[in-house]
């Protein structure tokens, strides 16, 4: 059977961070038996360097209108859009040249024109979903580096405190525009119990790091870990993770680690994944975070072993590590027109 031409269009979106690029690369690598091309738009040179090292066919573009000519020439069987929310005009521009268009986590009007909208950042809506919408925790693709870390953690499924000092990891990814890293660390330093605190700082963090280091000096066993994959390095040691409510909780749930989430942006307030039913404690909007609320949440998870066990059990029951196979098969079904959206 003829190979399918599968095209990714990935545009950088500040509030979604770099994960949409990670998801695209992860899934593209699973579809290497097909003809795959990634069209990318980002000003992040470090990210472009990473993409260049993947061995995938990467093509940069600056304006969406450039894609109209490219799609006309290529006539792909499947287009997958990631990252920035789309407008109706953009999708109308490329739709005539492709039989099937898939969008991931697109909250723009253009998503309504897609044939399938796959949503991991689903909200707490009581309305009927659109017929072309597939929402669930399976929409998170697991990058290989996360998969390796999660398997390592799952080899020792015990949810008890690992060392003499409970270890809290603070990890606000996706740019941390409201500097919740600083606010959270300040609140944690006021806790009057022995703790080890590690603060994960990745390449997207653009606030003053010296102020964090000064605060870390004010409390024993507090360190700043500044690395591209700081969270992944710290996860095996973590007894509790405090993070934003975007894609990071999926990384935590892949391994199963007690977790407190707080919304970095207003839109994260509505995301339903980081709720009690999935093993999380969600404490609302981060920039309005009160010291008493986060400290109570921390103490609840550190002092009550049954509470930690329940959180870990709920996260692991989601079986996030099986997502890649689900997404691979779904995209292949769509590319080969083996689908009927009414029955997926």
User: Residue 308: how many CB atoms within 10 A of its CB?
Assistant: 21
C-alpha span between 127 and 137 (Å, rounded) = 19
Q: Is the confidence at residue 331, as pLDDT, over 90?
A: yes
Q: Is the confidence at residue 20, as pLDDT, over 60?
A: yes
H or E segment to which residue 316 belongs:
helix 305-316
236 CB contacts (<8 Å, ≥6 apart)? Answer: 149, 152, 153
pTM of the model: 0.94
Start-to-end CA distance of the chain, whole Å, equals: 23
Q: 263 - beta bridge partners? A: 285
* Beta-sheet pairing, 240-244 with 222-226: unpaired
Write out pLDDT tens, residues 95-148: 999 999 999 999 999 999 999 999 999 997 656 667 889 999 999 999 999 999
Write out pLDDT tens, residues 42-83: 999 999 999 999 999 999 999 999 999 999 999 999 999 999
Q: How far is CA 129 from CA 106, 112, 120, 123, 269, in A?
A: 14, 12, 14, 11, 19
Average pLDDT (266-293) is 94
Q: What's the mean pLDDT when you consider all of the chain?
A: 94
User: Token digits for 167?
Assistant: 């270890």
Q: Which domains does the chain have, with CATH numbers?
A: 5-114 (3.40.50.11190), 144-320 (3.40.50.2000)
Q: Is the confidence at residue 327, as pLDDT, over 80?
A: yes
């Amino acid at each position: 059977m003829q190979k399918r031409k599968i095209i990714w269009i990935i545009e950088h979106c500040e509030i979604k961070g770099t994960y949409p690029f990670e998801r695209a690369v992860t899934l593209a690598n699973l579809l290497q038996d097909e003809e795959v091309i990634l069209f990318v738009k980002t000003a992040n040179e470090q990210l472009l360097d990473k993409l260049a090292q993947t061995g995938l066919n990467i093509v940069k573009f600056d304006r969406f209108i450039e894609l109209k000519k490219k799609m006309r020439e290529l006539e792909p069987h499947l287009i997958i859009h990631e990252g920035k929310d789309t407008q109706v005009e953009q999708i109308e521009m490329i739709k005539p040249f492709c039989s099937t268009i898939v969008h991931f986590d697109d909250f723009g009007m253009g998503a309504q024109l897609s044939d399938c909208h796959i949503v991991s950042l689903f909200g707490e809506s009581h309305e009927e979903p659109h017929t072309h919408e597939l929402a669930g925790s399976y929409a998170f693709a697991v990058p290989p580096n996360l998969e390796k870390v999660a398997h390592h953690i799952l080899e020792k499924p015990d949810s008890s405190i690992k060392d003499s000092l409970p270890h809290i990891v603070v990890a606000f990814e996706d740019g941390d525009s409201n500097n919740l890293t600083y606010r959270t660390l300040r609140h944690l330093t006021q806790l009057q119990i022995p703790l080890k605190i590690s603060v994960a700082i990745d390449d997207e963090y653009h606030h003053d790091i010296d102020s964090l280091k000064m605060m870390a000096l004010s409390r024993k066993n507090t360190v700043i870990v500044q690395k591209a994959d700081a969270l992944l390095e710290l996860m095996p040691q973590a007894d509790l993770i405090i993070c934003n409510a975007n894609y990071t909780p999926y990384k935590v749930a892949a391994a199963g680690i007690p977790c407190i989430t707080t919304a970095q942006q207003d839109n994260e307030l509505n995301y339903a994944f980081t709720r009690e039913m999935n093993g999380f404690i969600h404490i609302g909007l981060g920039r309005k975070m009160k010291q008493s609320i986060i400290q109570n949440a921390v103490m609840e998870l550190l002092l009550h072993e049954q509470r930690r066990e329940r959180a870990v059990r709920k996260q692991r029951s989601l079986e996030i590590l099986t997502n890649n196979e689900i997404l691979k098969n779904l995209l292949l079904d769509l590319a080969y027109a083996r689908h009927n959206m009414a029955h997926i």
